[in-house]
Amino acid sequence: MTKAIPNAKSVGLVLSGGGIRGMAHIGLIKAMREHGLEAQVIAGSSVGALVGALYASGIPTEEMLQFFRETPLFKYDFFAINKPGFIDTERYFKIFKGYFPKDSFEVLDKPLYVVATDLLKGEEKVFSQGELIRPLLASAALPPVFSPIEIDKVLYADGGVMNNFPKEYVDDKADFVIGSNVSIAGEIGKRDIRNSILLAGRVTGLMIYASSHRKLEECDLSIEPQELEGIGVLDKKGIEKAFNIGYEYGCRALEASLVLRP
């Protein structure tokens, strides 16, 4: 969906979860900056929360990409011991501290809303103040790969479980909302649901996609690149491809919106 970008209006940016496909968010941000457009408020889940935090810190897009290139997904000494999950998410704290040394929402250049899932109550939780890194780790802790993060005696995991596209947190704070959804669920073949695990994954993906897509359609400007489906959620080899796809889609959407401007 594309509408004309109004002059002198506040802009909100909503970024979905989707693993490595979320590099498309960075491509969109690069396109926005090249077109002289900045968001004033950001909301994100999972990788969308991570990209949103980097953007809210004023970090250049190339450095954002470098963060994901350098952060290991699977490392031998990161494997979890006596924790639910294969990878101990806590081990990433020191890496994140290098990019967010003050570990605080309050030092960000823009308001940021980070969504995580409260595993004990089965509810979504939004973080927007206080410590920053642990909510970011929680929001991106995709089960069962990454262990939950404990904050104030509550276990939190991936925000995409409950709310993969948290548009509602910017609706009353922005006049123009830009959305980027990278959780794609396109057509597949019978072979892709040949066992119970693949079937469960397909059904979960469809539920997340349906919810995200519905809210994406409510945005004033949005991208949802179908080409991202060919990139694995945890495949770091797809970083550059996803970024380029997001950039191309972002440029086209922004140029169309600027043409529509009265």
Give me the active site residues, please.
46, 158
Phi-psi bin for 85: left (phi > 0), alpha (psi -120 to 50), beta? Answer: left
3-state secondary structure 222-261: EECCHHHHHCCCCCHHHHHHHHHHHHHHHHHHHHHHHHHC
Q: Hey, what are 214's tokens?
A: 């519905």
Nearest to 234 by CA among 46, 91, 13, 45: 46
* Cβ density class 217-230: b for 16+ within 10 Å, e for less: eebbbbbbbebbbe
Tokens representing 128 are: 């927007």
SS3 179: strand
Three-state SS at 178: strand
